Amino acid sequence: MEFRKQIKAIAFADDLLIAVKAETISVAENITNIEMNKVLTWAKYNKLSFNEQKSEVVIISRRKRKEN
């Protein structure tokens, strides 16, 4: 399976980390959705499934958040 150049995928045992680098959160979200569809299609073809309750999304940004 091939990913875009903005994607870094790291697999270890039954864990998968997908790191996305983008200029904005919305661009990162769009890229992630496209690439996750590839992962889900691959998993379905290989009769694998993911536990949604153990899955997480973490946003790491260099921008400081504005406080209310």
pLDDT digits (tens, 9 = 90+) for 11-34: 888 788 888 888 888 888 888 888
Which pTM value belongs to this model?
Answer: 0.69
With beta carbons less than 8 A apart as the criterion, state whether 37 and 45 touch. no
With beta carbons less than 8 A apart as the criterion, state whether 4 and 40 touch. no
pLDDT of residue 56: 81
Q: How high is the mean pLDDT of the chain? A: 80
pLDDT of residue 5: 66
pLDDT of residue 27: 87
Please compute the mean of the pLDDT values over residues 32-53 and round it to a whole number. Answer: 87
Given a cut of 60, whether residue 37 has pLDDT beyond it is yes
Q: Where are the domains of the chain?
A: 7-54
Listed in sequence order, the DSSP H helices in 13-56 are 25-45
User: Which amino acid belongs to residue 4?
Assistant: R
**Of 19, 10, 2, which is closest to residue 57 (Cα–Cα)?**
19
CA distance 6 to 8: 7
